[in-house]
Structure 1
């Protein structure tokens, strides 16, 4: 019998299918949330945004998830760091790869307490919870408490915070470490992209054309 990946485990496949179907309602949910905001209201801070959008999945694409799985299988990192758990779609892809590598762990971060709780339930249901630690709160604070090297980084939280989170992690990035950011088409990610695309900052960066685009940067 040919080997299969943990992504094909019925528990994992069922959870991903359910969450992707729920994510198809994101546009309608986001519109309802925007409509409930008073006109001229002050812009929301990161934590307020996270709480306001606690129902919105904001997932990576299915193809993007499989790309992440393949990258981690190839790189075999000891520690995968994720900025932005949401409901855990991307996290499941990361943890499935770690499981199939036979070594490693996933440290993920999420500002929304409701999303973090839902994600933890899903991780337990899929049998991957032993590989995943969810740090609840602002990643700029929670990741500062984590020691050791980050062997692979996924940045998929609030786009304006991707650069500050990367700069926080940089002292822990060994040469050859891959850093992936999702949604290159979103304007808030522009400062991050300018940074990793400038060779003076120590990265070799390439845009991978999957859905809204992923920026894959290798630490030099």
Structure 2
């Protein structure tokens, strides 16, 4: 069976982006000194950090590809495109499945343009759509059923985005949240780990943590 991630043109694009992200780790943060991160709005954060890749880890990307290949969703929703590293993994999976489409959303106009270019360079522009704007607005009209969700935008918005999408989740849908070791993910984790909300969930130890939740009830 094909694996687009291992072949050109997608593989060279991912290698370039991961190399840029690794180089970025050793550079000073572009966040202004003395500026409170938590007091800034989501749009202000997106604009000030529009040069930062904020990628999913390589193992995390492979996990996303594997999960989408296995569950074969018709609609994949991603909150937080950034430069498109995770989007490429998701789009490669639906392309290799021969069915489905990725709908991603990003607040930074700079990142929207870059992600679209990276998807096109990877040969996957036809498998993914990148929406520009506030996820609570851009995702409001995405039709269901939604079979797979990746939550990797601003962490305090992960739970509101999930709640927005819940009525359109198909039974058995997978919801993956990245960076679950962050303190700001505590409300989200409390929600999906409460059986009353209808999820079966597990903490997966990759990079900064991923929570994999199944819409079971």
**Same fold flag (TM > 0.5):** yes
Aligned length, in residue pairs: 216
Deviation readout 1:125-150 (Å, 9 max, x if unpaired): 11100111111001011100222211
2: CA distance between counterparts of 1:33 and 1:188?
21
2: CA distance between counterparts of 1:47 and 1:112?
7
Match of 1:22 in 2: 20
Deviation readout 1:11-37 (Å, 9 max, x if unpaired): 1111101111111233455x4323x34
2: CA distance between counterparts of 1:211 and 1:146?
30
Cα deviation for residue 10 of structure 1 reads 1.5
Gaps of 5+ in 2: none
Match of 2:182 in 1: 186
2: CA distance between counterparts of 1:98 and 1:42?
36
Of 3, 6, 18, which residue of structure 1 is paired with 2:4?
6
Of 105, 111, 115, which residue of structure 2 is paired with 1:109?
105
| 2:63 aligned with 1:67 | yes
CA contact 1:26–1:58 (8 Å) conserved in 2: no
Q: Secondary structure at the match of 1:120?
A: helix
Match of 1:79 in 2: 75
- Structure number having the greater helix percentage: 1
Give runs of aligned pairs for residues 93-108 of structure 1, distance below 5 A. 93-108=89-104
Deviation readout 1:156-206 (Å, 9 max, x if unpaired): 011110000000000001210000001110011110000000001110110
Cα deviation for residue 39 of structure 1 reads 5.3
1: CA distance between counterparts of 2:16 and 2:119?
13
Cα deviation for residue 212 of structure 1 reads 1.2
Of 135, 138, 145, which residue of structure 2 is paired with 1:149?
145
Question: TM-score by structure 2 length?
Answer: 0.95
| 2:29 aligned with 1:32 | yes
Cα deviation for residue 50 of structure 1 reads 0.5
Distance verdict in 2 for CA 1:219–1:41, change over 3 Å: closer
Question: TM-score by structure 1 length?
Answer: 0.94
Q: CA RMSD in A?
A: 1.5
